[in-house]
Chain A
Amino acid sequence: MDFAFFLIQLLNGLQYGLLLFLVASGLTLVFGIMGIINLAHGSFYMVGAYLAWSLAGMTGNLATAILLAIPLTVVLGMALERLLFRHLYQRDHLYQVLLTYGLILVFEELRSLIWGDDVHGVAVPALLNASISLTENLSYPVYRLAISGVCLLLAAALYFLIQKTRLGMMIRAGASNRDMVQSLGIDIKLIYTLVFALGIALAAFAGMINAPLSSVFPNMGSSVLIICFVVVVIGGIGSVKGAMAASLMIGLAETFGTVLVPEVAGMIVYVLMAIVLVWRPQGLFGKA
């Protein structure tokens, strides 16, 4: 494996990991703060991808499509929190799993009705449709670098929001004592709605920007969902920092595994999870 090839795999692994982080951070936030297991989280990734594809078809431009789709997914997230998820906070995880599994089926059915069951490609935006050459015959697509850059920016923004702003302090406080937050005059329900919508929007956004790489197809959320649960478990439930570490670990392990040991590539992620859990049952950054 020469250096350029290694570099390409490294960039691919990081890009995949960063994208996973966008999806997994919402999952871990919603779990850590509201205590909700949201099996439908992957469906929002799919909704994002389909919205990007269909709006790009209408507007002729992926960037415009994404700008239109983001507010739609935020509104969808807020509406679902108000109508459905809000009623799950105080309930057993079994209710959550049942309802959110049901939601997956609803989303797939709606997707089939609205957009059909075909696979669709999405064009890379013209502006980013270029490659950087690494050696004479190896080059790297600019679009993937752009995805990594955007994901890094969003991760930094998320970190800033949660660690440095008052809203972030309120969000963290809400995870520890909901009644006390309210007693200080803070509308915890509104904060929950915002956190939920943020998580949904991040997952959907990941689906949008990844659509040109992954294309758009039925059930595309389910494999992402499973990997994201692995990320959340490895990183430590509720820990955004842990989600970042675990996403990058999995992104790199899966990418390098696929090229180095393709026979067992499908298992690597789970072996990694098993090792981490034996070593630290609460996950990398989880609280014991």
Chain B
Amino acid sequence: MTETPNASGVPASAADTLLEGSGLHTFYGVSHILHGVDFAVRRGETIGLMGRNGMGKTTLIKTLLGLVRPREGQVRVRGEDMTQAATHAIARRGIAYVPEGRGIFPNLSVRENLVMAARAGVDGRREWDFDRVIQTFPRLGERLANGGAQLSGGEQQMLTIGRALMTNPDLLILDEATEGLAPLIAREIWNIIKTIRASGIATVIVDKNYAAVMALADRSVVLVKGRVVFSGESRELADNEELMHRFLGV
């Protein structure tokens, strides 16, 4: 458990593993959604989490964050068992979340959405603060006094990402960040994700644009009906038309 080889074959210690789920079984009522999923994110790593609609990607993320409890299996954050920990305690260990459907606070202004989330990172880092987020998302800077609900879809997404960065995370989980956005805005979001990745923050990316995900991700994990059917280098998946067709329908 503590000495697992990573993609480059170098053993990584548990301390390098930011977030790890093992043997996760998650249910909604009687429907069995996750069937023994193993998933791990190491420091600085970018992972593409892929799978068609309804395969359990969002459920896996929610399970890892403690928003839904697994019936079986374990969630570890930085090597520590946090299967039963409160979501805020997990988040405080350096994990930020951009949920599906955005999740801005519509009753707060843009400024308030950002300011309320401000926090130093796990090691006391304050690289991301209000000014830097506004520099990164100049559009938000023009709309600080606006209510969250008055923003366009793309701006809302930028606000959600900016708000997540205000917590100075080591890992950013993006669930369908470009969903429903015009291509130009989606490209802007992808560029921002690249910048975030380059700054050393580990990312988990869920997106319908598989090509864009695989181009960015070090590793890809594919879910089919709540099971991991592929886990490995993104290149390996991208180059294998048969896998792409069978698991992702492309």
Q: Are A176 and B119 in contact (CB under 8 A)?
A: no
Name the distance in Å between A171's Cβ and chain B's nearest Cβ: 10
A137 within 8 A of B: no
Majority secondary structure, A binding face = helix
Q: Are B116 and A183 in contact (CB under 8 A)?
A: no
Q: Are A166 and B88 in contact (CB under 8 A)?
A: no
B binding-site residues for A, Cβ under 8 Å:
65, 67, 86-88, 91-92, 96-97, 99, 103, 105-108, 112-113, 115-119, 163-164, 167
The answer to whether A170 and B103 touch (CB under 8 A), given A179-B67, A183-B65, A183-B91, is no
The answer to whether A185 and B108 touch (CB under 8 A), given A169-B115, A170-B116, A180-B99, is no
A109 within 8 A of B: no
Scoring B67, B105, B107, B112 by chain A CB atoms within 10 A of each residue's CB, the highest score goes to B105
Give the distance in Å from the alpha carbon of A176 to the alpha carbon of B148 in the complex: 12
A170 closest partner in B (C-beta): B116
A172 within 8 A of B: yes
Q: Are A176 and B106 in contact (CB under 8 A)?
A: yes
Give the distance in Å from the alpha carbon of A173 to the alpha carbon of B112 in the complex: 9
Q: Are A169 and B112 in contact (CB under 8 A)?
A: yes
B148 closest partner in A (C-beta): A176
Given contacts A175-B107, A183-B88, A186-B116, 11 further A-B contacts (CB under 8 A): A172-B107, A176-B106, A177-B105, A180-B103, A180-B105, A182-B67, A182-B87, A183-B96, A183-B99, A185-B117, A188-B88
Give the distance in Å from the alpha carbon of A172 to the alpha carbon of B108 in the complex: 7
A187 within 8 A of B: yes
Inter-chain contacts of B106 with A (CB < 8 A): 176
Partner of A176, one of B88, B96, B107, B164: B107
Give the distance in Å from the alpha carbon of A187 to the alpha carbon of B85 in the complex: 12
A184 within 8 A of B: yes
Scoring A173, A176, A185 by chain B CB atoms within 10 A of each residue's CB, the highest score goes to A185
Inter-chain contacts of B65 with A (CB < 8 A): 183
Give the distance in Å from the alpha carbon of A51 to the alpha carbon of B99 in the complex: 48
Name the distance in Å between A169's Cβ and chain B's nearest Cβ: 4
B149 closest partner in A (C-beta): A176
Write 22 A-B pairs (CB below 8 A) sorted by A numbering.
A166-B116, A169-B112, A169-B115, A169-B116, A170-B116, A172-B112, A173-B105, A173-B107, A176-B106, A176-B107, A177-B103, A179-B99, A179-B103, A180-B105, A182-B88, A183-B65, A183-B99, A183-B103, A184-B88, A184-B117, A185-B167, A187-B86
